[in-house]
Structure 1
Amino acid sequence: MSVTWSEDVDAILGGDLTCGLACLTQAGGAVVTTVSPIGLRDRERGTVGFTTSLGFGRKLERIKDNPRVALAYHAREHGVGDGDDPRFVLVHGEARFDPHPDRATLDEIGKSSEPYLGAQRSGRFWDRWLHSYYEDRVLVTVTATRVVAWPSATAEGEPEVFGAPLPDSAAAPQSPPKKGTGPRVDAVRTGDRASRLPHVLLAYRDADRYPVIVPAGVRSAGAAGVRLRVPSFVPPGGRRAGLLAHSYGAQLVGLESRQNTGWLEVTDTGALYAPHTESGFRAPANKTILLLANGFLARRGLAKARKQGRVQALG
C-alpha cells in the first residue's frame, strides 16, 4: 500500500526549494548532500522526487548500489510555500531512476522547475553551453515507505508518522574503522565552516537500515573533533556519519556547501564528530556566472564519468 501524508505536510514537500538527500555507503555510513525537489511529489501514489545531472556527483551510483534513501525537507526560505512553517520533514523510501529520460520527461522537468529556479536560459550560446546541464538531467522518483514530520526545526517533540512506524530500538553502535575514529582532516576548520552556514544536517544508518537525516548545530570545535547539537533520539555509541552545512539564495543562486564523512560518537556528555573526508564549493551570487559554471562543471563531469565508464554502468 502506498503511503499517504497530510495536506499540510504535502504543502511542505511541494514548497521547499531544496532538501537534503542521504544515501548509504558500502561501509555502512551515509553521505548527505542537497538536491532540488522542485515540487515533485504524488500524494496519491506516495512518491516524491528530485532531479540531478549525470555529470554531477555520484548520487545515482549510490542509489543503484542501494536504493534506500532519505530526504529531509528542512529549509523554507526562497521556496514557494509557507516560509514560517518550522517543521522538519523526513521521507524514507526506495529510489529509482531512468538514466536516459525521454524528451517528454525532460520537458516536464523544465516546466516543473520554473516556479523554483526561473525560466531556463535559451538561445544559440546557452543551448550549446548548458546542453549537459539541462539535457542530461535525470528524474529520481522515491516511493515513500515512511514520512515523519516533527513539529520543530530541531526535530524535537512528538513526531507525526505516516506509513511504516519508526524502529522500535535504537541502532546499535558500529565497529570502528581500521584507520581509527579520530579526525583525518582539520576538525577546527570543519567546525568553523559549518558554524558560518545556516543549515547543518547529519546523516547515519538507522536500525532498519535506512539512512536518517537530522538537523544539527555546531557547539565548538577542537583537535578531537566538532561538538554538535543533535536531537535527543540520535542513538548513543559510535557510527559512521555524514555531515553537510549549506546555504543558498533565491533560485539557488549564491550556493555554498561543505560536506564531510566521518565518525560520530554520542555519549551522555554530547555528540562529537570526527571528520575523515571533506569537500565543498561556493558558487557566485550571480545567476549568469552560476549558469556558466554549471555548464562547465556538468560538461566536465559528464565527460569524466563517461570516460571512467560510470555512466554506462548506470544502464
Structure 2
Amino acid sequence: MTTQPSPSVPPHPIVTWSNSAQDAMEGDLVTALAYGTPAGGCVVIPVSPTGLVDRDAGTVGVTTSLAFNGKLFNILRDPRVTMAYHTRQHGFSSVPDFVLAQGRADVPLKPSPEVLATLAPRVERFLGEVPTGTFWDWILKDYFNNRVVIDIAVHRVVSWPEPHGAGQPDVAGADLPGVPESQAAPAKGTEPRVDTRKVAGQVGKLEHQLVGYRGADGFPVVVPVRVTGRSEHGLLLSCPAGLLPPGARRAGLTAHSFGPQAIGLANRVCTGWLEVDGDQVVYAPHTTSGFAAPPIKSVQTFFNGVFAKQGWRKAQREGTLAKLAELKARQ
C-alpha cells in the first residue's frame, strides 16, 4: 500500500528526497514518531510504520489503533510531526543514513475497510504472520478493526550520511530554520521529578536512545544521544556536535530495543527539561513510562489484543472519539 493525501489536507509542494532516504523509509522496521505538546515540549515514541511511504505524493505514514489514542489529541492540536528513521536493525534496508521526515499529519477518525485490507501484506512482511482462528480473531478484533493510517504530508527531509547524525546533512524541501531560542522554565521548576538513578538504569539497557525538541519552525527535531551517567540535576547525555541547540528547553527522551519482527519490544518514554552548555548536556526527566514485552510472539500478540480491547472500551465509555472529532473540526 502507498499512502495517499487525505482530501482534508491542503495541497503542499511535493518534496523530492534522496534514494538513500527512500530506502530507509521503505525498509525500517521500527522508527520514532515525534509530536509536540501544548506546553511547547515534545514526545518521542517508537512505532512500526511498515514501510508506508509514497514518494510521488510526498507523504509518509504510520498506523495506529484508535484504542491507543493519547497521541492523537496532541497531533490534532498541532499536526506538525516528525518521523525519525534511525535504525536499520531487523529491517529491509542497509543504508547508513539517519533520516528525519518532518511534515503535517492528517488524522482520520474512522477506519477505512479498504485501507485496512491493504495493510495485511505489509504487516506480515514486517511483523510476521498474524495468527488466525476463532480465539485470535476475537482477541485481535479491536486491535486491527479500529486501526487508522495517519498520512504525513512531508515538509522537509533531512538526511545525515552517518547513522548517529554525524556529517553534513542533505536537506530536501523547506530550508532549515534558525536555532530555536531557549524556553521559559516550567512553573514547577526544571529539576528531575522522578528517580534518575532508576531511569538511567532503564534507559541504559536499551540500544536506541533519542531526544526530541521543538525546532524554530515548530516541527519536532529528533537526534540520537547516549546516556553516559547521571548527576543531581539529571541524566548526562552525549551527542554529535551541533545537533542539539544551546540553551534550555522542554524535550522528550525515548529509548527502545526490539528483536526480529519487533518481538521482545522494550521502551522507556520520558518528558522533561534539556539543558545544553557546550559539551555538557543534561536531561532532567519529569515523567517516565514504558514496558518490556517477552520475546515470544504469541504472548506479545495476545497482550496487544487485550490492551486494545481495554483501550477501546475506555474510549467508548469516555466519549473519546467525540472529543477527537471536536478537535479535528477546529483545524
- Range of TM-score over shorter length: over 0.9
Q: State the match for 1:147 in structure 2.
A: 157
Of the three residues 207, 213, 219, the one matched with 2:222 is 213
Q: State the match for 2:106 in structure 1.
A: 96
1:97 CA drift (Å): 2.3
Q: Does 1:274 align with 2:289?
A: no
**SS of residue in 2 equivalent to 1:314:** helix
Question: In 1, distance between residues paired with 2:153 and 2:229?
Answer: 38
Deviations 1:74-99 (A, max 9, x none): 010111222xx221100100001212
Aligned 1:111-150 pairs, distance under 5 A:
111-150=121-160
Partner amino acid, structure 1, of 2:270: N
Q: State the match for 2:8 in structure 1.
A: none
Question: In 2, distance between residues paired with 1:245 and 1:208?
Answer: 25
**SS of residue in 2 equivalent to 1:209:** coil
Deviations 1:207-242 (A, max 9, x none): 111111110101111322100012322111110000
Q: Does 1:261 align with 2:271?
A: yes
1:153 CA drift (Å): 1.6
Aligned 1:134-283 pairs, distance under 5 A:
134-167=144-177, 169-233=178-242, 234-283=244-293
1:119 CA drift (Å): 2.1
Aligned length: 312
- 1:57–1:194: structure 2 CA closer, same or farther, 3 Å change rule? farther
Contact conserved, 1:192 with 1:221, CA < 8 A, in 2?
no
Of the three residues 31, 34, 43, the one matched with 1:31 is 43
Q: Does 1:73 align with 2:85?
A: yes
Name structure 2 gaps, 5 residues minimum: 1-12, 326-331
Contact conserved, 1:226 with 1:272, CA < 8 A, in 2?
yes
- 1:314–1:109: structure 2 CA closer, same or farther, 3 Å change rule? farther
Partner amino acid, structure 1, of 2:35: C
- TM-score w.r.t. the length of structure 1 is 0.96
Contact conserved, 2:20 with 2:97, CA < 8 A, in 1?
no
Q: State the match for 1:15 in structure 2.
A: 27
Q: Does 1:3 align with 2:12?
A: no
Q: Does 1:55 align with 2:72?
A: no
Partner amino acid, structure 1, of 2:205: R
Q: State the match for 2:329 in structure 1.
A: none
1:285 CA drift (Å): 0.5
- CA RMSD in angstroms, aligned pairs only: 1.1
Contact conserved, 1:188 with 1:223, CA < 8 A, in 2?
no
Partner amino acid, structure 2, of 1:277: T
**SS of residue in 1 equivalent to 2:105:** strand
Question: In 2, distance between residues paired with 1:232 and 1:46?
Answer: 30
1:4 CA drift (Å): 1.1
Partner amino acid, structure 2, of 1:229: S
Question: In 2, distance between residues paired with 1:237 and 1:192?
Answer: 26
Contact conserved, 2:112 with 2:148, CA < 8 A, in 1?
no
Name structure 1 gaps, 5 residues minimum: none
Partner amino acid, structure 2, of 1:143: A
Contact conserved, 2:53 with 2:59, CA < 8 A, in 1?
yes
